[in-house]
Amino acid sequence: MISPVPRIVTLETESPPEPTRWERYPPIQGGAAVPLWRKRETGQALEDHATRAGQISAEAAVTAPAEVPAVAPDLTAAAFFDVDNTMMMGASIYHFARGLAARKYFTTSDMAGFAWQQIKFRIGGRENPEEIQSSREQALSFVAGRSVEELVRLSEEIYDEVMADRIWEGTRALAQKHLDSGQRVWLVTATPRELADIIARRLGLTGALGTVAESEDGVYTGRLVGDLLHGKAKAQAVRALAVREGLHLRRCTAYSDSVNDIPMLSAVGTAVAVNPDPPLREAARARGWQIRDFRTGRRAAKIGVNSMLGAGALVGAVAAGLRYHRRPRV
């Protein structure tokens, strides 16, 4: 039996009318100056991590400046694209980690150790909650005390150097079709929102939903606002954005390669499995979803290796960077 999701009501005001029944969302750097409060009915449990992560991501999403559309805008439909192995070959955070390694933030041997953890996960096929929590804390240790400006600058440089030529042209063409029809196109990814925003901007998309790291006065605190935008959290982010943007989810389309994104794919009217992993391919066939595969032969195998390394880099490669800089020099 699935527990019902608590009904969340938000309010923008300097102070809540009933402090015992309202609590403040952590502030988001660059967000609204007026505090955002949330209310739960008496007796309701705290909202689950996925719901909160999705709502926070939607709140933090920034829409790119709109260009004059060539066709009449379709205001109630949109497309949502996963990034890793869907829009981009391999994992974006892995490519980002490679860029950091090239800048001596950490060594390739550090990356190999963390990648092994992800390989074990891929073989075992299960997520250990304690390991996920540890991975999140390690990843956050890299950004703690660093400026948002630094991460954005590095993201822009590394995208141009490492990621730009790893975009799947077939997937990009699918996104362009939605844009050409007047629909908005959003990326939805566990990647930090700063990097996700840059990928979306470079591709000429509407915007991105990503994991939100807390910052104060332009400096990361080492904590998340919400949680990782992964699995069910992506579906919650899409739903929250749909409310904000006035979208009809039955008219929307979602694209992903991973079985973990079935909640997001199920939240919209049209689901498309792109370069699907075996479990998603099986699920797509059973549900009658479209399947698009842009991989071929050895290239597909290579992308699969990078996919395994991707979350391994997220687990600890960026954390290694912090340890590398703190390592005493002799």
CA 173/CA 66 separation, integer angstroms: 19
| 3-state percent breakdown (helix, strand, coil) of the chain, nearest 5 | 50, 15, 35
Largest CA-CA distance found in the chain, in angstroms, rounded? 64
- Concatenating the DSSP letter of every residue in 104-140 gives TSS-HHHHHHHHHHHHHHHHH----HHHHHHHHHHHH
CA 29/CA 143 separation, integer angstroms: 14
Q: Which of 48, 74, 84, 227 is catalytic?
A: 84
Q: Which of 48, 74, 82, 293 is catalytic?
A: 82
Q: Which two tokens stand for residue 210?
A: 């990503």
Active site residue 84: yes
Residues in the chain: 330
E-strand ranges in the chain read: 9-12, 22-24, 36-39, 78-81, 184-192, 207-211, 213-216, 219-224, 253-256, 270-274, 290-292
Collapsing DSSP states into helix, strand and coil, what is residue 278? helix
Cβ count near 310 (within 10 Å): 26
**Residue 18 corresponds to which amino acid?**
E
Q: Which two tokens stand for residue 75?
A: 């205001």
3-state secondary structure string across 214-263: EEECCEEEEEECCCCCCCHHHHHHHHHHHHHHCCCHHHCEEEECCHHHHH
236 alpha-carbon distance from chain centroid: 12
Active site residue 257: no
Residues annotated as catalytic (active site), given as ranges: 82, 84
